[in-house]
């Protein structure tokens, strides 16, 4: 064990214990398992919200699900220890390139702009989202021109116009404004994770190797930036065979080295009949499907929930949405940075820290935390399939995770995390496709089941769309 270890039970009433209890309960976990949790280190990321508590709670929930799986064949249930400091660092990035640098994470015109009556954020990383914003603004694609054009619009008018054009934008709202917004009210009525049983089939039970508890599990990954890839990266860390599917031409140059660790990555055009047929073949052998398409996107492709259940009745189907699964925005495109603007996170940071502009979280915590919640739901769903032969659907949303965090503001007096040092890095040098890199040590420790990855990160399309 490392220094300053404290158990979750002894922190009753703390943001960590409260969020862990809510996450674990939402995933369907047994409350008695929380007695096997401990946390090391102290301090937190600089924020007006309990970001490090959210990081620790979501990571340990995923680890606790693995601990339950290890014991599914009657073995002793191992203890789970989360390193609060490392979990916080992983919420920024786990990758430390050696002699090379990933591309910049943001498009040159992405960011926050002052509108005629407030602030708005434009998300323009995808070329078609950039084109949509510029078409509405009617200006050149450079920062000063965009700023001048945005200033002539009311923030909500511009937000709606860009969204209607197929782009992504978010007016900054306060916590109170979001709570009264129709979509905010819908999200507040949703569970943190929506679980439901699906089809039933005579599933083949496999023996669980406590050292690699997800070995033999096939995970079909239809996710991109960023929560879904975090979930499937975690599953790969405990031995799952993760096959990621991207459409032709899709790239994530700034993030693929971070999130494709341990996975194989192929391309399929799901708009094409042949591509859909191949996807369904893969799905028929998958144990878990993780997808982050908007709620109606797979239905439009002919791959809706009913089709998926027919293909694999006992599938563990885990999905992600930005703004919630009900309400008028349930099919709106969204990303972590936009959800922080809309739900009051960025406004609270600006006001409480007396900053002149929107002040989001120091990391994309909604993405990362939701990813670990999805991983916990996937593993527990797999266990229920063992017990009942039934599949399970689990739904998460960034907006609902934002509401969880918003309920846990901090006073601003929390100690800072100790700076990263060489001792925080794994000694192994990862031969990624872009160059050598080192990773942070895993943020969670499960006795006798080390978190490790069997394959370095490679770009999308590096593999064929088939199982090993």
**Any bridge partners for residue 435, and if so which?**
432
In this prediction, residue 133 carries a pLDDT of: 98
CA end-to-end span of the chain, whole Å? Answer: 37
Report CA-CA distances (Å) from 450 to 61, 238, 321, 441.
Answer: 16, 7, 31, 11
Report CA-CA distances (Å) from 122 to 151, 329, 338.
Answer: 13, 17, 8
Q: Which residues of 318-333 are buried (b: 16+ CB within 10 A; e: fewer)?
A: bbbbbbbbbbebbebb
In this prediction, residue 10 carries a pLDDT of: 43
Q: What is the pLDDT along the chain (468 residues), one digit of tens a residue?
A: 334 454 443 455 799 999 999 999 999 999 999 999 999 988 999 999 999 999 999 999 999 999 999 998 888 899 999 999 999 999 999 999 999 999 999 999 999 999 999 999 999 999 999 999 999 999 999 999 999 999 999 999 999 999 999 999 999 999 999 999 999 999 999 999 999 998 887 766 778 899 999 999 999 999 998 999 999 999 999 999 999 999 998 888 889 999 999 999 999 999 999 999 999 999 999 999 999 988 788 999 999 999 999 999 999 999 999 999 999 999 999 999 999 999 999 999 999 999 999 999 999 999 999 999 999 999 999 999 988 999 999 999 999 999 999 999 997 666 899 999 999 999 999 999 999 999 999 999 998 899 999 999 999 999 999 999
In this prediction, residue 413 carries a pLDDT of: 63
In this prediction, residue 11 carries a pLDDT of: 53
If 0-12 CB within 10 Å is exposed, 13-18 middle and 19+ buried, where does residue 76 land? Answer: exposed
Contact 273, 294 (CB under 8 A): no
């Amino acid at each position: 064990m490392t220094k300053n270890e404290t158990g979750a039970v002894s922190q009753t009433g703390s943001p960590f214990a409260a969020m862990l209890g809510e996450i674990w309960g939402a995933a369907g976990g047994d409350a008695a398992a929380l007695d096997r949790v401990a946390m090391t280190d102290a301090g937190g990321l600089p924020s007006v919200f309990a970001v490090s508590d959210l990081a620790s709670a979501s990571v340990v929930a995923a680890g606790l699900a693995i601990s339950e799986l290890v014991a599914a064949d009657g073995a002793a249930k191992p203890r789970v220890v989360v390193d609060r400091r490392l979990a916080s660092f992983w919420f920024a990035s786990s990758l430390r390139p050696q002699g090379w640098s990933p591309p910049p994470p943001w498009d040159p015109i992405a960011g926050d702009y002052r509108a005629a009556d407030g602030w708005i954020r434009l998300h323009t990383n995808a070329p078609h989202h950039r084109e949509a914003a510029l078409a509405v603004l009617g200006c050149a694609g450079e920062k000063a021109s965009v700023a001048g054009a945005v200033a002539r619009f009311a923030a909500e008018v511009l937000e709606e116009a860009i969204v209607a054009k197929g782009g992504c934008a978010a007016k900054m709202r306060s916590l109170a404004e979001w709570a009264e917004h129709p979509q905010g009210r819908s999200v507040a009525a949703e569970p943190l994770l929506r679980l439901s049983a699906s089809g039933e089939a005579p599933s083949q039970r496999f023996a669980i190797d406590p050292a690699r508890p997800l070995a033999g599990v096939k995970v079909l990954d239809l996710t991109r930036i960023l929560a879904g890839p975090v979930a499937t990266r975690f599953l790969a860390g405990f031995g799952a065979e993760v096959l990621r599917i991207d459409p032709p031409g899709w790239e994530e140059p700034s993030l693929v080295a971070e999130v494709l660790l341990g996975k194989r990555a192929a391309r399929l055009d799901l708009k094409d009949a042949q591509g859909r047929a191949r996807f369904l073949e893969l799905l028929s052998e998958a144990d878990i499907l993780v997808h982050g398409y908007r709620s109606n996107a797979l239905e439009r492709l002919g791959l809706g929930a009913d089709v998926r259940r027919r293909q694999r009745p006992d599938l563990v189907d885990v999905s992600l949405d930005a703004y919630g699964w009900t309400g008028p925005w349930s099919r709106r495109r969204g990303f972590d940075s936009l959800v922080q603007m809309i739900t009051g996170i960025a406004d609270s940071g600006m006001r409480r820290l007396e900053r002149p502009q929107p002040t989001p979280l120091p990391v994309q915590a909604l993405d990362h935390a939701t990813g670990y919640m999805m991983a916990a739901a996937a593993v527990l769903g797999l266990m229920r399939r063992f017990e009942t032969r039934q599949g399970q659907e689990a739904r998460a949303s960034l907006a609902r995770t934002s509401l969880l965090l918003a309920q846990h503001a901090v006073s601003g007096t929390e100690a800072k995390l100790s700076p990263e040092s060489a001792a925080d890095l794994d000694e192994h040098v990862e031969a990624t496709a872009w160059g050598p890199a080192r990773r942070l040590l895993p943020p969670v420790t499960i006795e006798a089941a080390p978190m490790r990855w069997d394959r370095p990160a490679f770009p999308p399309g590096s593999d064929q769309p088939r199982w090993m």
